[in-house]
Amino acid sequence: MSEHEHHDRHGGLGHRVRHLITPHSHDTADKVDPALEASREGMRALWISLGVLAATAALQVVIVVLSGSVALLGDTLHNVADALTAVPLGIAFWLGRRAATRAYTYGFGRAEDLAGVIIVLVIAGSSVLAAWFATERLVRPQTMSHLPWVFAAGLIGFAGNEIVARYRITVGRRIGSAALVADGLHARTDGFTSLAVVLAAAGAWLGWSWADPVVGLAITVAIAFVLKDAAREVCRRLMDRVDPELVDQAELALRAIPGVRDLAGLRLRWIGHRMHAEATIVVDRSLSLVDAHEIAADAEHQLAHHVPRLTGATVHVDPDSHPGGGHHSDLSHERRDRLAAAGL
């Protein structure tokens, strides 16, 4: 159903006038459906990667029991923690698919940001636990056994984490989920820390009894760096940070619309992996309500075109404080021709 068909169906000119004097917003089904599909794709990525990491961790647990390697134990704990982060993210994606309510008028997309906080806490917990085990082994050294198996376990950990990292990052970037991308980068770092286990096995083979716990502490340091990056990403999302280049791009698109004399305000925010925009445009005060409405509709369409993963836009129209010329009819015809040519 087109915009004008919608107005005609619900009361003709009277409804149009009431609609025109309020901020203009479109949350159309053709935007919501892709957002829901993105949540489904995110869920699918989580469960597939969970299966891969669970299998990787299970193989490593068996070798930890046989070898007694602290470095491998620290890496295994981190892999288990990484696998478990799929649970809060999965719950967040499920909640994000629920429709908005009278109490939660923006929906439940913020659950994804809360899941990011849980992920940061899980990473912090795994770092502390790995440090404790490594310190304990430094105080009470033990001989590492089954060195070839430990070596193989490190390679298994790297392969499993790299597969998961590539999958999560690819899907996360495609659907606009910062939490999923961050979790993918976390998995990639886990993969490189798994290679450190190979160094521990090599050191033990050379007779360096200190190599295993020292590498375990090195893994703890690596986890701490991942924790810093993950916490930064989560804090930025909680503070509604967006890419400034995206704001510049949206601003240029709005200013280029015929009839827009100025841009009084523009705000973008993430709600989960969905984007919402609020804009205030300034138009000629002599424009009719119908012409002002068409400019607002054009602004919404341009925002949807230039802002990736935008699912909602509210456009408010302010009259220019200075009296303008009477050329609004030409602007209106020009705008109609341009929108018709674009299929809008």
**Which domains does the chain show, CATH number per domain?**
29-238 (1.20.1510), 243-341 (3.30.70.1350)
Q: What is the pLDDT of residue 71?
A: 62
- Determine what percent of the chain is predicted with pLDDT higher than 90: 16
Model confidence band, residue 23 (pLDDT cutoffs 50, 70, 90): very low
Amino acid making up residue 288: S
For residues 91-119, give the mean pLDDT.
Answer: 84
The tally of CA atoms less than 13 A away on the side-chain side of residue 268 is 23
- Contact by Cβ (8 Å): 249, 306: yes
Q: What is the pLDDT of residue 194?
A: 76
* pLDDT 10s digits, 62-103: 877 777 666 667 667 767 766 777 788 788 888 887 888 899
DSSP string computed for 210-240: THHHHHHHHHHHHHHHHHHHHHHHHHHHHTT
Q: What is the pLDDT of residue 145?
A: 63
Nearest to 317 by CA among 3, 102, 19, 85: 19
Model confidence band, residue 328 (pLDDT cutoffs 50, 70, 90): very low
Q: What is the pLDDT of residue 316?
A: 94
Sign of CA dihedral 33, 21, 263, 267: negative
Sign of CA dihedral 61, 62, 66, 72: negative
- Contact by Cβ (8 Å): 30, 318: no
Q: What is the pLDDT of residue 326?
A: 45
- Contact by Cβ (8 Å): 201, 150: yes
pLDDT at 21 over 70: no
Question: CA–CA distance from 177 to each of 9, 106, 107, 282 (Å)?
Answer: 37, 17, 16, 33
* pLDDT 10s digits, 206-233: 777 777 677 778 777 877 887 888 788 8
**Lowest model confidence (mean pLDDT) among 111-120, 132-141, 227-236:** 132-141
pTM: predicted TM-score of the whole model, two decimal places: 0.66
Report which of residues 250 and 217 the model is more confident about.
Answer: 250
- Contact by Cβ (8 Å): 149, 62: no
